[in-house]
């Protein structure tokens, strides 16, 4: 599972007043530990880590779908080298131009800054 997915699963568990790290991974883990977790008996009907993981995955997929429906994407604050190269090419700067890649960086920063001004 990705780190972000784990972070969301932990947050969902916390919202349910549960500690993700002390929750059994699955039913087999619950049986193996004889239902005792963190020194307390845990009901078999309570969520397992795998359930919180599934909830996190569903929440993240719904968020991504909502962004896509609005025509939005998540981008890094700093352009990657590939983004800078593509940006330079899109505005007609070629390998022969001085600082052809670096000249696209201010454009990227200006576009992000425009989003932050409200």
Are 28 and 61 found together in one domain? yes
- For 51-97, what is each residue's pLDDT tens digit? 999 999 999 999 999 999 998 888 888 888 888 877 777 777 666 66
Residue 14 counted as domain residue: yes
Are 59 and 7 found together in one domain? yes
Domain that holds residue 16: 3-69
Residue 75 counted as domain residue: no
Residue 106 counted as domain residue: yes
Are 63 and 107 found together in one domain? no
Residue 76 counted as domain residue: no
Whole-number average pLDDT of the chain: 86
Instruction: Domain count for the chain, please give it.
Output: 2
Residues 6+ apart with CB under 8 A from 82: none
**By the 8 A CB rule, do 9 and 53 touch?**
yes
| Pairwise CA distance, residues 64 & 61, whole Å | 5
| Pairwise CA distance, residues 32 & 113, whole Å | 53
Angle, vertex CA 16, rays to CA 13 and CA 17, nearest 5: 90
In the predicted model, is pLDDT for residue 25 greater than 80? yes
Are 9 and 65 found together in one domain? yes
DSSP category for residue 40 = E
In the predicted model, is pLDDT for residue 117 greater than 70? no
């Amino acid at each position: 599972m990705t780190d972000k997915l784990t972070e969301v699963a932990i947050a969902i568990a916390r919202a349910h007043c549960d500690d993700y790290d002390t929750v059994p991974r699955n039913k087999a883990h619950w049986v193996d530990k004889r239902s005792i977790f963190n020194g307390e008996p845990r009901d078999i009907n309570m969520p397992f880590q795998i359930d919180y993981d599934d909830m996190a995955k569903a929440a993240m997929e719904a968020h991504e779908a909502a962004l896509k429906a609005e025509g939005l994407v998540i981008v890094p604050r700093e352009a990657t080298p590939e983004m800078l190269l593509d940006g330079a090419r899109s505005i007609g700067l070629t390998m022969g131009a001085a600082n052809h890649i670096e000249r696209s960086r201010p454009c990227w920063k200006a576009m992000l800054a425009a989003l932050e001004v409200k």
